[in-house]
Amino acid sequence: MYNLPSFDQLKKLNDLDPNAFEALREKLVNDCIETASAERQHRLQGLQFHINSRRKLANNPMESCISLSRMMHETFWDMHNSLEGLAHITANPRSARNITSSQPLLHSKKTADILTLSSTL
């Protein structure tokens, strides 16, 4: 495990030198990825890229936090639905073809109306 500075030390570093804080964050993340097994490193690098992309797209730290929290909840519900489906298949092997994935509870898909375009030439 890592000996991380205290929250207060990290906050002070971020307040005084945000670039140094970001460099420390990147170093700790990369060190953690490097300690993972070779099979997991590629997946962790991809996940970190996705996290960094969401952070860059956010307009402020709170939006970044909400976006990453939403990503974690969506992943949790995907895993939940997979386990639920597996449990259903295990309990009822004959009904495996009838399984439909349930909608994630945290968000709903947006829909749009289809408009008919007419030519006025």
Structure tokens at 15: 């307040």
Which pLDDT tens digits describe the chain residue by residue (121 residues)?
568 889 999 999 999 999 999 999 999 999 999 999 999 999 999 999 999 999 999 999 999 999 999 999 999 999 999 998 888 888 876 655 554 554 454 455 566 677 777 766 5
Is the overall model pTM greater than 0.75, yes or no? no
- Short-list 22, 44, 21, CA closest to 32: 44
* 38 vs 79: CA distance, rounded Å: 23
Which stretches within 58-102 are classed as H helix? Answer: 61-91
CA dist 40 → 32, 61, 75 (Å): 11, 28, 17
